[in-house]
Structure 1
Amino acid sequence: MSLTAAANTVAAGSSKAAEFHGPSINEFFPDAIFFAGTPFEIDRLVIIRFIAVAVLLVFAFVGTRSLKLVPSRGQAFIEYGFDVVRRNAFDNLGEKDGKRFLPLLSTIFFGVLFMNLTGLIPFLNLQGTSRIAMPMLLALIAYFAFIYAGVRKHPGTFFRNALFPPGVPWYLYIIVTPIEFVSTFVLRPVTLTLRLLMNMVVGHLLLVLFFSATWFFFVESHSLFSVFGVGTLAFGIAFSFFEILVALLQAYVFMLLTAVYIQLALADEH
């Protein structure tokens, strides 16, 4: 009986050691490091945001400190990024308004990009935009820029024309006005927030799933199942490159939509 009990104990311990634990939403809520329980609580994700901002500032300073006719790699990267933002700003807003909002659009593009890329950096491995506070803050900045541009360009008619589009029969405003209010003043910041947040959350969870499964198959699964680790590792590496593309794309889309919303606010229809 004692030998049987011992065998069962060993088997239970082995199965427990080989149990796979996938990623969870708790990945995005690490324990507090400083000021726990206060409004100024700082955890690993907040520190990652600080690091992303610091690296961006240093990179921009070093890359533009001594501009040359034949640019260095850092200067070329910054110039290319600014040129992407500038061309979109000018295409959507025209040269005059494009120059006026270029600093805002550039800040949004590079800020989102650098915070997105932290999820692929060893020892950080978490996107600065993977918790709702940062995407929401950026969306609110874009939203208030949209309101500011419209009120400044059309101080007396912006809200009226946004909610009561000209040329619509008066009796249809019962239907049109609520739709315009929700689509213009509610859904825009919400969709900006959720689009960026969900892409970063899903990307992080998939990367953790692939690489934790690789560790499980290679290290903890003492069986023929370890061969599956080759597949999960290959998928993890491939998806890492895909995440770089997603990080770039989400930064570009966020910046582009901000420019489009500002252009709609500046349109003569208002």
Structure 2
Amino acid sequence: MGALVLAEGGEFAPPGAGDFNLPPIFLGITKPMLLVVLSVIIIGAFFLLTSRNLKIVPSKWQFAAESVYDFGRNNIAREQIGSKDFRPFVPLILALFTFILVNNIFGIVPLLQFPTMSHIGFPLALSVLVVYPVYHFVGIKRHGLGGYLKNQLTPAGVPKPIYLLLTPIEFLQKFIMNPITLAIRVFAAMFAGHLILLVFTIGGEYLLLEAAPALKAMSVVSFAFAILLTFVEALIQVIQAYVFAVLSAGYIGMALASDH
């Protein structure tokens, strides 16, 4: 995207991918790194403080914590993994959901204003180093290596000659593409959403301060779109955390299933 000339001698340089490469704050530590640590502190403090004095009639904070737990336990883990096997995986699914949710929400929090998952390394680490090993490990543990590979690579009910074509495709999907696409979904949504917000926010500021007098009124439109898109982005941030947790639980459920 080229520079847009709107002012009397000035140029509008639109935001791009380079705006996501934040410089180190101290000793190589960047803002996204600090936000990841902050998210863990926030999540840990939230559940510890809301559960230290549990009551039969919950306070509003206890109710909020129980609602989040119930959502992760029943609406994600139980539904995707199955009522027989879901319990051991509730902490993992709940942790994934809350961790991604908080780091996504950082993108619209004043002063912070950066969604950590817009850096591909973070969702990729969760996918490749956490989810990927877990669902393959539990599948191999239940079915044995041979049985697990058979379940994953040779779907039931397919004519044997088709396996020559289908098995490589299944291998590519189950062992290579699944963890990559799981990470890319949340990364792409957070990157694109934050970039659009930057365009309207910085564009509005430029129109207000630098544009020709006849165009300054257009800054109101730009700021209005930025506010509207902030609410849209908040919804997308919640949905993407949910999608990541649902797909992670779904992969575990498929790994544990007898056949596919």
Q: Following superposition of structure 1 onto structure 2, how do residues 28-177 of structure 1 map, counting pairs within 5 Å?
A: 28-35=20-27, 41-87=28-74, 88-140=76-128, 141-155=130-144, 156-177=146-167
Find the aligned partners of 1:216 and 1:76 in 2 and give their Cα distance.
44
Aligned to 1:97, the other structure's residue is in SS state coil
Query: RMSD across aligned C-alpha pairs, in angstroms?
Result: 1.6
**What is the CA–CA distance in structure 2 between the aligned matches of 1:135 and 1:26, rounded to whole Å?**
19
- Count of residue pairs the alignment pairs up: 251
- Ranges in structure 1 where 5+ consecutive residues have no aligned partner: 1-13, 36-40
- 1:44-90 per-residue CA deviation (whole Å, 9 max, x = no partner) reads 22112222222222222212222222323322222111111111211
Larger Rg over CA atoms: 1
Letter in 2 for 1:86: R
In structure 1, distance between residues paired with 2:228 and 2:55: 36
Give a deviation string over 1:82-131, Cα, whole Å, max 9, x none: 11111121122233421110000000000000000011111111111110
Q: What letter is aligned with 1:74? A: W
* Alpha-carbon distance, 1:222 to partner: 4.2
In the alignment, is the contact (CA less than 8 A) between 1:28 and 1:45 conserved in 2? no
Which of residues 239, 242, 250 is equivalent to 1:252? 242
Task: State the AA in 1 paired with 2:133.
Answer: F
User: Structure 2 CA distance, aligned partners of 1:117 and 1:92?
Assistant: 25
Q: Taking structure 2 as the reference length, what is the TM-score of the superposition?
A: 0.91
Contact 2:24 2:31 (C-alpha < 8 Å) held by counterparts: yes
Distance 2:91 2:39 in 1: 18
TM-score, normalised on structure 1?
0.87
Q: Residue in 2 aligned with 1:189? A: 179
Where in structure 1 do 4 or more consecutive aligned residues deviate above 4 Å?
A: none
| % identical equivalent positions | 33
